[in-house]
């Protein structure tokens, strides 16, 4: 498949360039099935995750990655805007977690799940330029780690 994509679109992807993105597709399928009963919304994610007592240590590195990626100078940055989090109340919620203003463990896990959900939407709805997907490899590696950490509780 990668050879066809490279020939068709003039890209130079390797299997390794897209491994985490391909893995994400499978992990998201499992997540949406087990966590969201095959109908994923932010509200449904919240309802499923809220009763679970997660250990923040399992997610701290992921949270730090997203803090570094989406904040600078004590505010969110332009990259954060490209997540396209709606409604604004959820966007503000994630912002407060990333800025360290909300230290509730459940809220931190939900904020991570919302970011991963936006990766899913941006990937599957064509928001991410497919010709540059190899540049998203680390993001999807972290997203996969978030998903597997959550899925260990299901």
How would residue 126 be classed by pLDDT, with cut points 50, 70 and 90? confident
> How far is Cα 2 from Cα 36, in angstroms, rounded to an integer?
31
- What is the predicted pLDDT for the residue at 128? 75
**pLDDT in the model for residue 39:** 92
Instruction: Give the mean model confidence (pLDDT) for residues 105-110.
Output: 98
Q: What does the pLDDT read at residue 108? A: 98
Provide the pLDDT for residue 127.
Answer: 77
Closest CA to 93 of 75, 111, 119: 111
* Dihedral of alpha carbons 24, 30, 33, 35, sign: negative
Q: Which band of pLDDT confidence, cut at 50, 70 and 90, is reported for residue 92?
A: very high
Higher pLDDT, 143 or 125: 143
3-state helix, strand, coil in the chain (%, to 5): 70, 5, 25
Model pTM greater than 0.85? Answer: yes
Assign 143 to helix, strand or coil: helix
Percent of the chain with pLDDT over 70: 100
């Amino acid at each position: 498949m990668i050879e066809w994509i490279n020939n068709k679109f003039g890209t130079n992807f390797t299997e390794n360039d897209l491994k985490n993105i391909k893995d994400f597709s499978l992990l998201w399928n499992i997540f949406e099935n087990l966590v969201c009963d095959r109908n994923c919304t932010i509200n449904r994610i919240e309802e499923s995750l809220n009763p679970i007592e997660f250990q923040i240590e399992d997610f701290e590195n992921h949270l730090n990655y997203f803090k570094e990626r989406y904040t600078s100078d004590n505010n969110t940055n332009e990259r954060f805007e490209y997540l396209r989090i709606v409604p604004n109340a959820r966007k503000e919620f994630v912002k407060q977690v990333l800025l360290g203003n909300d230290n509730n463990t459940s809220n931190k896990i939900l904020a991570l799940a919302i970011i991963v959900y936006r990766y899913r939407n941006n990937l599957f709805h064509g928001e991410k330029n497919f010709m540059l997907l190899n540049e998203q490899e680390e993001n999807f590696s972290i997203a996969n780690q978030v998903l597997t950490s959550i899925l260990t509780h299901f």
